[in-house]
Structure 1
Amino acid sequence: MLTLAEAARLPVASVEAETHRLAAHAAEVPAAMLVPATFEEEFYRRANLPEQLSRLLSPVNPARLDEDLLDTLATQAQTLVRTSSLLDDAVQLLYRALGNAGLNLGEVHLRRPGEREAETALVVPPGTAALHALKRLWARDWTFDALLARLDGAGSIGLEARPTLVLAGPPGVPDAARAAALGVGAALVGPLGLVGLP
């Protein structure tokens, strides 16, 4: 788990450009942290999800796509991701990071850098609601639309793990004045401050 300052020292390819932009304006950002892609990778590997998802989605033929089948399997894939367990060490690592970042009490939202769709949680220590929101966010990669986009774009259902931002407060709304003041194309502002520069 990384603070924005720690994440800003890593290459854009591993933390995404928005993370660097937020870190550059850290004084305006409420409590925040970045869950690195490696945490998601470890979850998939330890839960044997690549093999299970591959087996589940093996009937999908990109050349002759049955959308009804894909829709049914997407629902099952999302359930599989949401109901798979993280190892206790990983859970404790997340809880400690939430506490250290001041994100283990109150409303938080989680989203992928560069994207606007978020999962929200009302967190009390140790942070179970945030953990569930994280898994719901990861499960979004297995929706019908996400699978269809990967099949259309890459011809396969495979994906790479990506980092996740955890920010205090509710998701922000576009603020054109703040975007103009910062010299960026878009800025998301919530009641606690700047929460997005997608």
Structure 2
Amino acid sequence: MLTLSEAVRLPPSQVGAETHRLAEHLGRVPAAMLVPAAYEEAFYREANLPEQLSRLLAPLNPARLDEDLLETLAPRAAGLILTSYLGDDAVQRFYRALGNAGLSTGELHLRRPGGRETEAATVLPPGTAALHALKRLWARDWSFEALLARIDEAGSIGLEARPTLLFAGPPGLPDTARSAELGVPAALVNREGLVGLP
């Protein structure tokens, strides 16, 4: 887990270009942290999810897609993510990072760098609600819409792990005054501060 100041030392290909943009305005960003893609990748690997998902989705033929079948299988694929467990060490690392980032109490939200879809949680120590929200966000990658988009764009259901941003407070809303002030196309702001430059 990384603070935004730590994340900006890594290339945008690893942490997301938006993370770099946000790091330029750290004084305006509330408590935040980045969960690296490697954390999600380790979860998939340790829970044997690639093999389980491959078996579940094997009946799909991207070249001649049966959308009715996809609609049936997508919730089951998302369910695999939601019902699989992170290892104890991974959970403890996440909880420690939440505490270190000042995110183990109160309202927070999560989203992918550059994305707009969020998951929100109200957290008490050690941070179980935040962990559940993280898994809900990961499970969105296996929704009917996400799978259909990947098949249309890439011709496969394959997926690369991606980083996740966590911010204090509720999901941000577009703020035209803030985007004009910062000279950016869009700025997301909540009561805690600047939480997005998608």
- Shorter-chain TM-score bucket reads over 0.9
1:62, distance to aligned residue in structure 2 (A)? 1.0
Aligned to 1:10: 10
After superposition, what is the alpha-carbon deviation per residue over 1:166-185, rounded to whole angstroms, capped at 9, x for unaligned? 00000010001100110111
Aligned equivalents of 1:188, 1:63: Cα separation in 2: 38
Aligned to 2:30: 30
1:60-139 counterparts in 2 under 5 A?
60-139=60-139
1:195 aligns with 2:195: yes
Aligned equivalents of 2:35, 2:46: Cα separation in 1: 17
Equivalent residue letter for 2:75: T
TM-score of the pair, normalised by structure 1? 0.99
Aligned equivalents of 1:181, 1:153: Cα separation in 2: 35
Query: What is the aligned residue count?
Result: 198
Runs of 5+ in structure 1 lacking a partner?
Answer: none
Residue 34 of structure 2 aligns to a residue in which SS? strand
CA-based RMSD of the aligned residues comes to 0.4
1:63, distance to aligned residue in structure 2 (A)? 1.6
After superposition, what is the alpha-carbon deviation per residue over 1:76-126, rounded to whole angstroms, capped at 9, x for unaligned? 000000110000000000000000000000000000000111000000000
Aligned equivalents of 1:123, 1:117: Cα separation in 2: 19
Aligned equivalents of 1:63, 1:45: Cα separation in 2: 27
After superposition, what is the alpha-carbon deviation per residue over 1:23-76, rounded to whole angstroms, capped at 9, x for unaligned? 110100000000000000000000000000000000001121111110110000
Aligned to 2:19: 19
Q: How many percent of aligned residue pairs carry the same amino acid? A: 75
Aligned equivalents of 1:62, 1:160: Cα separation in 2: 18
Aligned equivalents of 1:62, 1:117: Cα separation in 2: 25
TM-score of the pair, normalised by structure 2? 0.99
Aligned to 1:171: 171
Equivalent residue letter for 2:175: D
Aligned to 2:152: 152
1:184 aligns with 2:184: yes
Aligned equivalents of 2:3, 2:66: Cα separation in 1: 43
Residue 181 of structure 1 aligns to a residue in which SS? helix
Residue 126 of structure 1 aligns to a residue in which SS? coil
Residue 90 of structure 2 aligns to a residue in which SS? helix
Aligned equivalents of 1:65, 1:9: Cα separation in 2: 42
